[in-house]
Structure 1
């Protein structure tokens, strides 16, 4: 899946917005002010678990394409290489959905999007 398609997928989710907090061209997706995805030209960063151990399923499934995300990986964030088609589009969509759902669940009710 191309990064533009991943961005469109993320932005189609209720309350999602693309931001550019570090002035490097965007690709940071938030809901309710919290990040749920990092979309780069080759990689996707998402929260899939509460810890690295819980994310093990993804490391085992795609050992050459999934790695622990720098700085926040211990909190269940992974980086997935998406530019070569090895990880199927439906699984990339699942990863985005898992991350979005986890972040929304952690938001105060007043910040949760409707829909």
Structure 2
């Protein structure tokens, strides 16, 4: 899956919008919170998503895809992983990861910030 495809998929989510809070970085938010980090690590295109409520659950991705999943810098302890887009993780699993991240973030939003669609 290409970065542009992941970006478009994220932006199709209800209430999703693109932000550039740091130079050279793009994130996709719902309400005031990020649900996907779009970037690269060592030249590899990646998406950073919430892969579980804690590190133990998110570590399942690391065991299944040791070359393509890594804890996301600064947020890894909270269940966020960086997933390689052009590696062994198939497109359906990447989509499921984005969906899970979006759902987890929306569930934590205050009701006034949740999308209505």
TM-score normalized with structure 1 length: 0.93
TM-score normalized with structure 2 length: 0.92
2:106 is equivalent to residue 104 of structure 1: yes
SS at 1:40 equivalent? strand
Distance 1:77 1:33 in 2: 17
Question: 2:15 aligns to what?
Answer: 15
Q: Which has the higher strand share?
A: 2
Q: CA deviation at 1:9?
A: 0.3
- RMSD of aligned alpha carbons: 1.1
Distance 2:113 2:31 in 1: 5
1:64 to 41, 64, 67: 67
Give the aligned length: 113
Question: 2:57 aligns to what?
Answer: 54
2:24 is equivalent to residue 39 of structure 1: no
Distance 1:67 1:52 in 2: 11
Q: CA deviation at 1:27?
A: 2.2
| Runs of 4 or more consecutive aligned structure 1 residues displaced over 2 Å after TM superposition | none
Question: 1:88 aligns to what?
Answer: 90
